[in-house]
């Protein structure tokens, strides 16, 4: 960068109203630590569980104080003095102050939304950023929205010819009106064990493994706490494979990784609380399996219209060797121990380089869209 050139001002947005608020704080902490401060001026922006936007001071610490998951130990870079910080009139206590979301984002060159789940990964924040005409990391409104909805995403995967485990979906109302009818469908079309999930969450929040019909009502009610669309899938006895995708129109893939959950399945507890789930990088699979998974990951990325980044997850059925696509995550976990950055490290791209590349991709995509917008 030329001497004296202004650094690119990057807003990192975290927290948020979803059930994945706590995970977002951990991801954001890792990104704030890794981001290249020679190139980027960083403006941390927190969103409380109630949806209030906080900037100035140290919004990460402020939100972490009421989080169920502790931040990683160690030092974090101090909040930088920026023009924006003083414009926000940060009180002397160092506390972040409430800001108007739209107002604050317009003072940024680019935004890295590190929000998992609804109101962040689902196209809502992306829509705000489009309106404000600010470039941002990751998928746009459409790609975010369809990827967040397991029903629509599966329908698109099927259209693309990607194998999906047998599944069905019902609304909360359908379940409440006719539980026997829904149970009969599950028995007939899927069998047991099966998995019940809310259509719109991640981090395994609201996901249950149902071993026999007696467990179905409890699982449906749990999922119904989070969404009005409920997905039921055949339980696959499978190894779990994940691939990281990076790029816009011509995305590249990382090596394939495998997760061996510490619990019966990869639930919230196994992901974030209990230690001991194993990440195998690269996954001990054949070259052919690896090629298949990577090729499927790119097709999935394109069919949902993702951009920038995504992690695509698969099941490798133990008995048959069948590979099923499970889901695509457009804002994958980004902690130091998350698969997305780990797979890139293993593919030769450091965490810092990865963050820089994602910001560049956001700027490139914005510039391209502007060229083609006709305005």
Ligand X SMILES: Nc1ncnc2c1ncn2[C@@H]1O[C@H](COP(=O)(O)OP(=O)(O)O)[C@@H](O)[C@H]1O
The catalytic residues are 20, 203, 338
What is the arrangement of strands in the sheet containing 40-47, beginning at the earlier edge strand? Answer: 97-99, 53-55, 40-47, 8-15, 110-114
> Could you tell me where the DSSP H helices lie in 234-350?
268, 287-303, 339-346
Residue 58 vs 233, nearer CB to ligand X: 233
Contact between 241 and ligand X (CB under 6 A)? Answer: no
Residue 107 vs 289, nearer CB to ligand X: 289
The footprint of ligand X on residues 248-277 (CB under 6 A) is 261, 265-266
**15 is annotated as contributing to ligand binding:** no
Q: E strand or H helix at 257, and its extent?
A: strand 252-260
Q: Which of 120, 202, 247, 333 binds ligand X (CB under 6 A)?
A: 202
Tokens of 324: 């099923």
**327 is annotated as contributing to ligand binding:** yes
Contact between 236 and ligand X (CB under 6 A)? Answer: yes
**50 is annotated as contributing to ligand binding:** no
d(C-alpha 352, C-alpha 361), whole Å? 14
Q: Which of 144, 326, 335, 356 binds ligand X (CB under 6 A)?
A: 326
Q: Which of 109, 121, 227, 240 binds ligand X (CB under 6 A)?
A: 240
Residue 269 vs 350, nearer CB to ligand X: 269
**160 is annotated as contributing to ligand binding:** no
Shortest-Cβ-distance residue relative to ligand X: 266
Burial of 39 (0-12, 13-18, 19+ CB in 10 A): middle
Q: E strand or H helix at 25, and its extent?
A: helix 21-34
Minimum separation from the CB atom of position 222 to ligand X (A) = 13
d(C-alpha 32, C-alpha 351), whole Å? 11
Whether omega for the bond prior to residue 193 falls within 30 degrees of 0, making it cis, is: yes
Tokens of 239: 């190894």
Minimum separation from the CB atom of position 364 to ligand X (A) = 28
Contact between 335 and ligand X (CB under 6 A)? Answer: no
253 CB-near residues (< 8 Å, 6+ apart): 243, 244, 245, 246, 294, 297, 298
d(C-alpha 169, C-alpha 162), whole Å? 18
Contact between 339 and ligand X (CB under 6 A)? Answer: no
Q: At what angle do helices 150-159 and 287-303 cross, to 10 degrees?
A: 110
Contact between 22 and ligand X (CB under 6 A)? Answer: no
d(C-alpha 267, C-alpha 4), whole Å? 49
Burial of 173 (0-12, 13-18, 19+ CB in 10 A): exposed
Question: Which region among 47-55, 92-100, 203-211, 242-250 touches ligand X (by CB under 6 A)?
Answer: 203-211
Residue 258 vs 313, nearer CB to ligand X: 313
> Nearest-CA neighbor of 74 among 335, 290, 281?
335
Contact between 207 and ligand X (CB under 6 A)? Answer: yes
Contact between 311 and ligand X (CB under 6 A)? Answer: no
The footprint of ligand X on residues 65-124 (CB under 6 A) is none
Residue 115 vs 238, nearer CB to ligand X: 238
Q: Which of 85, 163, 217, 235 binds ligand X (CB under 6 A)?
A: 235
Residue 58 vs 327, nearer CB to ligand X: 327
Cα angle at 128 between 122 and 132, to 5 degrees?
Answer: 150
Contact between 27 and ligand X (CB under 6 A)? Answer: no
Minimum separation from the CB atom of position 77 to ligand X (A) = 30
The footprint of ligand X on residues 113-172 (CB under 6 A) is 165
Q: Which of 21, 172, 197, 311 binds ligand X (CB under 6 A)?
A: 197
User: Which residue ranges make up the site for ligand X (CB under 6 A)?
Assistant: 165, 195, 197, 201-204, 207, 233-236, 238, 240, 261, 265-266, 313, 326-327
Output the known binding site for Mg(2+): 313, 327, 329
């Amino acid at each position: 960068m030329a001497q004296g050139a202004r650094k690119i001002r990057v807003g990192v947005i975290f927290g948020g109203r979803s059930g994945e608020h706590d995970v977002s704080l951990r991801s954001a902490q890792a990104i704030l630590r890794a981001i290249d401060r020679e190139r980027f001026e960083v403006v941390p922006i927190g969103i409380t569980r109630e949806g209030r936007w906080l900037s100035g001071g140290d919004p990460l610490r402020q939100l972490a104080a009421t989080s169920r998951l502790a931040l990683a130990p160690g030092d974090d870079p101090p909040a930088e003095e920026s023009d924006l910080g003083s414009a926000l009139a940060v009180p002397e206590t160092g506390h972040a102050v409430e800001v108007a979301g739209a107002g604050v984002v317009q003072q940024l060159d680019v935004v890295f939304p590190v929000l998992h789940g609804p109101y962040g990964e689902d196209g809502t924040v992306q829509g705000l950023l489009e309106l404000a005409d600010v470039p941002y990391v990751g998928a746009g409104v459409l790609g975010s929205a369809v990827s967040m909805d397991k029903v629509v995403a599966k329908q698109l995967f099927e259209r693309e010819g990607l194998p999906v485990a047998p599944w069905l979906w019902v609304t909360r109302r359908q379940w409440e009106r006719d539980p026997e009818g829904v149970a009969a469908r599950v028995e007939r079309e899927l069998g047991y064990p099966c998995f019940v999930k809310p259509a719109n969450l991640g981090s395994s929040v609201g996901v249950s493994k149902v071993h026999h019909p007696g467990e179905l009502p409890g699982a449906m009610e749990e999922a119904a706490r989070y969404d009005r669309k409920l997905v039921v899938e055949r339980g696959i006895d499978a190894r779990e494979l994940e691939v990281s995708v990076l790029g816009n129109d011509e995305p590249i893939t990382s090596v394939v990784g495998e997760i061996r959950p510490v619990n019966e399945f990869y639930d919230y507890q196994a992901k974030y609380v209990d230690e001991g789930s194993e990440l195998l990088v690269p996954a001990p699979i054949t070259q052919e399996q690896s090629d298949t998974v990577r090729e499927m990951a790119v097709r999935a990325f394109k069919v949902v219209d993702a951009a920038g980044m995504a992690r695509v997850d698969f099941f490798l059925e133990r008995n048959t060797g069948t590979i099923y696509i499970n889901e695509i995550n457009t804002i994958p976990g980004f902690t130091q121990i998350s698969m997305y950055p780990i797979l890139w490290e293993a593919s030769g791209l450091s965490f810092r380089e990865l963050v820089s590349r994602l910001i560049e991709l956001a700027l490139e995509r914005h510039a391209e869209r502007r060229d083609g917008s006709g305005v």
